[in-house]
Amino acid sequence: MKIEGEHLFNGSREEVWALVRDPEVLASLLPGTTDLKQLSESEYEGSITLRIGPVTGAFSGKIIVEDENPPESCSLVAEGEGKPGFFKGTGDVELLEQDGGTLMKYGGEIQIGGKLAGVGQRLIDMTSKSMIKQGMKSLDKVLAERTGKE
Amino acid sequence: MARLIGKPLKRNEDPRLLTGQALFVDDVELPGMLHAAFLRSDYAHARLKGIDVSAALEREGVVAVYTAEDMGDDWAPGPPLVIPPPTIEEVTFNTRTQVPLVKEKVRHAGEPLAVVIAESRYIAEDALDDIVVDLEPLPAVVDIERALDADAALVHDDLESNLAAHLVQTKGGYQSAREQADLIIKRRIVMDRGIAGAMENRGIVAYWDNKQQYLTVWDTTQSPIPIRNGLAGMFGLSEHQVRVIAPFVGGGFGPKIMMFYPEEVVLTWATLKLALPIKWIEDRRENFYATTQERGQVHEVEMALTEDGRILGLKDDFIHDSGAYDPYGLTIPLNTQCHVLGPYDIPNFSSELHVVFTNKTLTTPVRGAGRPHGVFVVERLLDIAARELGIDPSEIRRRNYLPNDVFPYDNVIIDQAFANFIIDSGDYLPAMEKALDMIGYKDFIENEQPRLRAEGRRVGIGVVSFIETTGVGPYEGARVTIESSGDVSVATGVGTQGQGHFTSFAQVVAEHLGVKVSDVHMVTGDTAQFHWGTGTFASRGAVVAANAMNAASSIVRKKILELASELLDAPEDELEIEDGEVRVADVPRMSISLGELAQKANPLRGAVEPGTEPGLEATAYFGPNYGATAFGTHAMIVEVDPETMNVEIRRYVVVEDCGTVLNPLILDGQVHGGVAHGIGNAFYEQLFFDDNGQLLNASFADYLIPTSAEVPTIEVGHTVTPSPLNPLGSKGAGEAGAIPVPALMAQAIENAIGEAGFEILESPMSPLKLFNLYYGDKEQ
């Protein structure tokens, strides 16, 4: 499954960059994320409980940030597995200056397997879109708190 | 003799089934019974690097957790179920059979890695979560047309490629036929199918009683006797120490004849170790991964014809998806090759087959077993030829039918039994004419269709013919006994999965023995009751088992008459058997009941004369030289909604010729079920895999099975062309309903669309695919 999209932040590239590289913030992004730990400069580990249609359960996994070029771009590798199956994703994030704010462009590909694929397939697309939307919203909120801009 | 064969009697077994009194595997409850759950691979292709079950073993209520390593020397890939064909030259066949638990490499999603045995299924399922598996994912082989590419991953590392089998079959000379042809039709045809979707999933209860040294296995198998023999062999037991019971089974349709499933081996191995009964019932999601399927074929085909629509030759090169293993040999693709020839006179034929391994669940026969693929190919080509030549679809078939005087007709190529594909009998034209008449073909074409078209409605008609090879050997048997009550007990080796065996077989027996059908008590599928047989498959029960019933009850009848003649002091030819007694014709008071006769045949004192046997009992077997070929014509009227491309079936007509009909009520039911299955195969049911071999629609929410809303009223007619190969003259009918539906639906939809160039070359279709096919090139 391919994921692609963009989001305009009301803040500078440096502010947005600092935001997404903060594990505390990352953990708050997605509901159901627990125990997010930073293993190294670029590696995080944690678990997330997901509910996709009839499929629900916890995944444990990690996120690795690669090819960092602050505050412009990075690549992400995420993988997780749990009772509902597994997922493995790669993505690219780009931050561009636009209209006094920052435009985040993201794109990537996710492989899923097991029950998640067999039973949840139909709802994956919708669920992932709504999760991304929710995540961006949380980022906006934290960003606003930090910068004081509305 | 009262004519009971051919009567539309209600089924003996239905009161038990309808009131919930029939025993299914999941009804088996034994003291101390444990429950098994299997840990299955989420990956389609992966190397097993390690597996740690220690946490699972600590969970309260878990009795044991086993992996391949624990099985030691008992771990072995399953024996092939069907040996590859020895009769044709230069056949390649690489046997790679399924394993009980994955040892080194996962080859399809859902393959079992470990089994947990616990006090309840809940505990067992929870304990699956405690197992830590280290799997290294490998690239998966999914697309059958790329499976033989040089850079494709290997499903079996010890083979040079993913080629499972390769063979070429020919009849006459296609090339010279092609040179003489006025018209060559060349197409690429893609066929896919799906799961069987039986209402009851698989289930096993296995119990080794250590004190009795006796193994009992309740199994949803279609083939209890070979399972008994195989398990005894695998675990060093005498066949008399093993009893396999296939009780009532909620639908077989083919996948339940597959053996040995990993679960059958693992549960038996585990009960031999634990000496406690263990139950495993497959859940619906497991069924989508762990029960065999029937899937894709890609055909590159060519038909050579004369300008008046006569087939000169046909060339069909195709690839068949075997899935991860190939225990079932070449049964499905050989059926496809044979059924491409159909009921037609095709003097020149050539077919090259490649079977490929893929990282998907293995394929074995599902109702139709490759026949729908073959029928789809030839019928589609005939439809396209008819259009090109301006001939009516029914007329082009009429011109190509094998004439009546050619039977038995040798098609030269070999069939799934590895013998020459011989059609025993046939009379194709009356079946088609009856179908055309029933559906009102002429009136529809001339009046109704033009009228409805004028209103802007897209209505269409289709008519296709098919054959179905049925009733193959090697043999089945039956034991018929008159009990001292006068009732009749019968045992046979075949299992029953809803076919009405308890009635149609009883009709054959009751006809000979002058008793009520309801007084014939049938036992099927219990190896303790009958020792010999193969199973219920290939539409063979009403041919092979029923003729064994026929033979055994004829012998019992002879015994009855001999003894009654002696006791009543009347010549045998003056005796009649009616209403459970033997009477001297015209002297009703001179009679003796069958129960009394049975007692006299089994005296407690006195002497049984040398050379005679006690009781009124006989065991007999029947094995045909080759299979009887049924045939028929299906016709349908559809309406297509041009906005949504949804298809409504407005009429459905079946004319089925399966030789002598044992019970027309049961036959019609089987035809109805078959057509429903066929509608699913033609328009709803398809398994979708992604590039990693992940099944994307493993539930009935996403995998559509036709419901009563999609299945129309089915009108069934019959013609009767008895088979010369067996005394009853019967042919099989269990699969016939499903076989021609994809071909028929394609033709009817094309006719409804009625536009040049609109061709359906793929099955199954769906409203979405139809929409894309139709609107793909058009401005929307």
Does residue B130 lie in a domain region? yes
pLDDT tens digits along A85-116: 998 999 999 999 998 899 999 999 988 898 88
ipTM of the complex model: 0.86
Residue A85: list chain B partners with CB under 8 A: 42
Q: Which of B109, B692, B697 comes nearest A111 by C-beta?
A: B692
**Cβ proximity of B129 and B52 under 8 Å:** no
Q: Which residues of B touch A (CB under 8 A)?
A: 42-44, 109, 128-129, 285, 288-289, 690, 692, 694-699, 701-702
Distance to chain A for B129, nearest Cα, Å: 6
Q: Report residue A127's pLDDT band, with 50, 70 and 90 as the boundaries.
A: confident
Is residue B234 located within the same domain as residue B372? no
Query: Which residue is associated with the tokens 């409805």?
Result: B452
Q: What is the mean pLDDT of chain B?
A: 95
Q: Beta B587-593 vs B581-584: how paired, if at all?
A: antiparallel
For residue A11, the enclosing domain spans 2-144
- pLDDT the model gives residue B777: 62
Distance to chain A for B321, nearest Cα, Å: 20
Q: CB-based contacts of B594: which residues, under 8 Å, 6+ apart? A: B482, B486, B488, B513, B514, B515, B560, B577, B580, B581, B582, B616
- Tell me what the mean pLDDT of segment B117-126 comes to: 98
Edge to edge, the sheet with strand B297-305 lists B92-93, B163-171, B348-357, B311-323, B297-305, B183-191, B762-763
Does residue B346 lie in a domain region? yes
- pLDDT the model gives residue A27: 77
pLDDT surpasses 60 at B1 = no
State the Cα–Cα distance between residues B700 and B197, nearest whole angstrom.
9
CATH number, domain of A80, equals 3.30.530.20
Closest B-chain CA to A55: B699
A114 and B698: CB-CB below 8 Å?
no
- At residue B190, the 3 state secondary structure works out as strand
Residue B129: list chain A partners with CB under 8 A: 83
A115 and B697: CB-CB below 8 Å?
no
CA angle B748, B752, B754 (to 5 degrees): 115
pLDDT tens digits along B414-458: 998 888 999 999 999 999 999 999 999 999 999 999 999 999 999
CATH number, domain of B220, equals 3.90.1170.50
- Tell me what the mean pLDDT of segment A37-42 comes to: 88
Closest B-chain CA to A114: B42
| Neighbour-count burial for B568-585, b at 16+ CB within 10 Å, e otherwise | bebeeeebbbeebbbbbe
Distance to chain B for A62, nearest Cα, Å: 16
**Cβ proximity of B230 and B259 under 8 Å:** yes
- pLDDT the model gives residue B605: 76
Percentage of the residues of chain B whose pLDDT score is greater than 90: 92
B695 and A117: CB-CB below 8 Å?
yes
CA atoms within 13 A on the CB side of B375: 31
Of residues A51 and B558, more confidence is placed in B558
Is residue B640 located within the same domain as residue B743? yes
B42 and A81: CB-CB below 8 Å?
yes
| The domain boundary residue, chosen from B589, B622, B655 | B622
> Domain tally for chain A?
1
A121 and B697: CB-CB below 8 Å?
yes
Of residues B415 and B606, more confidence is placed in B415
State the Cα–Cα distance between residues B279 and B204, nearest whole angstrom.
6
Q: Which residues of A touch B (CB under 8 A)?
A: 54, 81, 83, 85-86, 111-115, 117-119, 121-122
Does residue A149 lie in a domain region? no
State the Cα–Cα distance between residues A104 and A117, nearest whole angstrom.
28
Closest A-chain CA to B288: A118
pLDDT tens digits along B489-519: 999 999 999 999 999 999 999 999 999 999 9
CATH number, domain of B305, equals 3.30.365.10
Distance to chain A for B42, nearest Cα, Å: 4
| The domain boundary residue, chosen from B606, B622, B638 | B622
Residue A122: list chain B partners with CB under 8 A: 697, 701-702
For residue B77, the enclosing domain spans 32-138+200-250+255-290
Is residue B487 located within the same domain as residue B612? yes
Does residue A59 lie in a domain region? yes
State the Cα–Cα distance between residues B629 and B203, nearest whole angstrom.
33
DSSP state of B445: I
Of residues B201 and B625, more confidence is placed in B201
Q: In terms of Cα–Cα distance, which of B729, B725, B770 is closest to B746?
A: B770
Residue A54: list chain B partners with CB under 8 A: 699, 701
Is residue B468 located within the same domain as residue B539? no
**B259: amino acid identity, one letter:** M
**Cβ proximity of B204 and B264 under 8 Å:** yes
Q: For chains A and B, count residue pairs whose Cβ atoms are closer than 8 Å.
A: 50
**Cβ proximity of B478 and B491 under 8 Å:** yes
**B173 CB-contact burial (10 Å; exposed 0-12 / middle 13-18 / buried 19+):** middle
Q: In terms of Cα–Cα distance, which of B343, B342, B336, B423 is closest to B371?
A: B336
Q: Which of A81, A86, A115 comes nearest B285 by C-beta?
A: A115
| Neighbour-count burial for A111-134, b at 16+ CB within 10 Å, e otherwise | bbbbbbbbbbbebbeebbeebbee
Is residue B462 located within the same domain as residue B527? no
> Domain tally for chain B?
3
pLDDT surpasses 80 at B83 = no
Q: Report residue A41's pLDDT band, with 50, 70 and 90 as the boundaries.
A: confident
Does residue A23 lie in a domain region? yes
Q: In terms of Cα–Cα distance, which of B767, B474, B427 is closest to B630?
A: B427
- At residue B469, the 3 state secondary structure works out as strand
Of residues B634 and A146, more confidence is placed in B634
